[in-house]
Amino acid sequence: MGQSKRGVKNKKPRPTSATRARPVCELCAQTGGEILWRDKRCRVVLVAEPDYAGFCRVIWNDHVREMTDLSAADQRHCMRVVLAVEQALRGVLKPHKINLASLGNMTPHVHWHVIPRTTRDAHFPNPVWGKKLRAGQRGAATRLRERLAAELLNLL
Ligand SMILES: [Zn+2]
């Protein structure tokens, strides 16, 4: 046969886009938190962040990488929901500031973080992903989930 010892036959085929296992997207596989509101296009979840009562995410239901992958109407819908969450959090928690963030570096599936901040929270004035400066404030507002869900129903 004349094949050398280093013949191609013994090489494992390189993974191609067709054979490489796609990593499971966390936001496709799971709700991502406790559902406060949802429709066909997106959902609002309350995230279990011990230092941040009221930390919410707006998650687009379809696996879409960037906001500009959405149609203009869907972009408007997404932002309308993000702003409703901001409004609901302001009404219920009276935070010092709301932080809005869309990163998706770890999970490239469109989602917005809507984070109520106080001047004494664990990271203030740093972003919540920055250096922690003090112990976080534990203990959520009473019936936080129900109150936020009711506000969202009102606003959306
Ligand atoms: Zn996804």
Tokens of 2: 């004349």
* pLDDT given at position 142: 77
> Residue 18 is encoded by which pair of tokens?
């067709």
- Say if domain 22-155 classifies as CATH 3.30.428.10: yes
Domain spans in the chain, listed from the N-terminal domain onward: 22-155
CA of 42 to the centre of ligand 1 (A): 12
**pLDDT, position 2:** 47
Determine the pLDDT at residue 112.
Answer: 98
Query: 67 CA distance to ligand 1 centroid (A)?
Result: 13
How far is ligand 1, taken at its centre, from the CA of residue 61, in Å?
8
DSSP 111: E
Residue 87, pLDDT score? 98
Model pLDDT, residue 17: 55
25-43 pLDDT, tens digit each: 999 999 999 999 999 999 9
The rounded Å distance from CA 64 to ligand 1 centre is 7
Q: Which residues of the chain have pLDDT under 50?
A: 1-2, 4
Q: Which residue has the tokens 């408007």?
A: 76
Q: What is the reported pLDDT for 5?
A: 52
pLDDT at 15: 57
Angstrom distance (rounded) from CA 63 to CA 61:
7
> 110: CA distance to ligand 1 center in Å?
8
Alpha carbon of 30 to ligand 1 centroid (Å): 9
